[in-house]
Amino acid sequence: MLIDFHNHHLSSSPDVLSIRSFHQREQEPFEQWTGPCSVGLHPWFVSEVDWVRDEQWDWLTRAARDKKVLLLGECGLDKLQGPDLADQQFVFEHCLALAEQLRKPVVIHCVRAYEELFASVRKIKPTVPMIIHGYARKATILKPLLDQGFYVSYGAAILPPTSAAAQSLAQTPLEKLFLESDDKMLPIADLYARAAQIKGLSIQELETALQNNLETVLRESNK
């Protein structure tokens, strides 16, 4: 079965295991959702107002315990959008600690804030698997991520023939890889076809590998 590791679509196809991601502004659709999903405090929508942030946090701590929630996130750091980075980092570190407490893997959104991400990880020391979603950067940033055990999920950025993301995917070990449509309305099968081509694998081989990866991150977090 194909896995769409991270997306924001409200419909899913029966032959894809689609992990829908909900954030603090999607509390109602989250309640109505019955499939596998993730919940997190998205850095763009972290509030700078204390009482609003407390409410967002209360929602997350309740929602994250739901059985349908396989993963925590997306949460993370974004230097191009959202409130002050200090506010984002405060919330992100709480999310890491919650994931650790609930024993769920964390899906991380990181834009131009890798140093701060590493600092938070050194501080909180999560032992649950961490997955960087929507990775679209050069392979130079990939190396420290892989060295620290991160998984990496790729989206539409791998489609152009010479993209940085495609080159990074080529250097990502198969056992650390996921694919996701994120906010793009594109069939996940297109990403499998492209990734299989980059990796020199059959779709079937890639399918099996990514299924194993999902099983691994879920099993590892339960230790």
What does the binding site for Zn ion look like in residue numbers (CB under 5 A)? 182
Q: How far is the CB of 125 from Zn ion (least distance, A)?
A: 25
The identity of residue 103, as a single letter, is: R
Q: How far is the CB of 59 from Zn ion (least distance, A)?
A: 18
Query: Is 29 or 123 the residue whose CB approaches Zn ion more closely?
Result: 29
Query: Is 136 or 203 the residue whose CB approaches Zn ion more closely?
Result: 136
Chain position whose Cβ is nearest to Zn ion = 182
The identity of residue 131, as a single letter, is: I
Lookup: tokens for 214: 């999902």
CA distance 118 to 39: 22
CA distance 93 to 87: 10
Closest CA to 179 of 196, 201, 154, 204: 154
> Which helix or strand (DSSP H or E) is residue 6 part of?
strand 2-7
Cβ atoms of residues 182 and 158 within 8 Å? no
Burial class (CB in 10 A: 0-12, 13-18, 19+), 28: exposed
Query: Is 4 or 182 the residue whose CB approaches Zn ion more closely?
Result: 182
The identity of residue 123, as a single letter, is: K
Query: Is 79 or 199 the residue whose CB approaches Zn ion more closely?
Result: 79
Q: Which single residue is written with the structure tokens 């994120």?
A: 182
Q: How far is the CB of 175 from Zn ion (least distance, A)?
A: 23
Q: How far is the CB of 208 from Zn ion (least distance, A)?
A: 25
Q: How far is the CB of 6 from Zn ion (least distance, A)?
A: 6
Query: Is 48 or 183 the residue whose CB approaches Zn ion more closely?
Result: 183
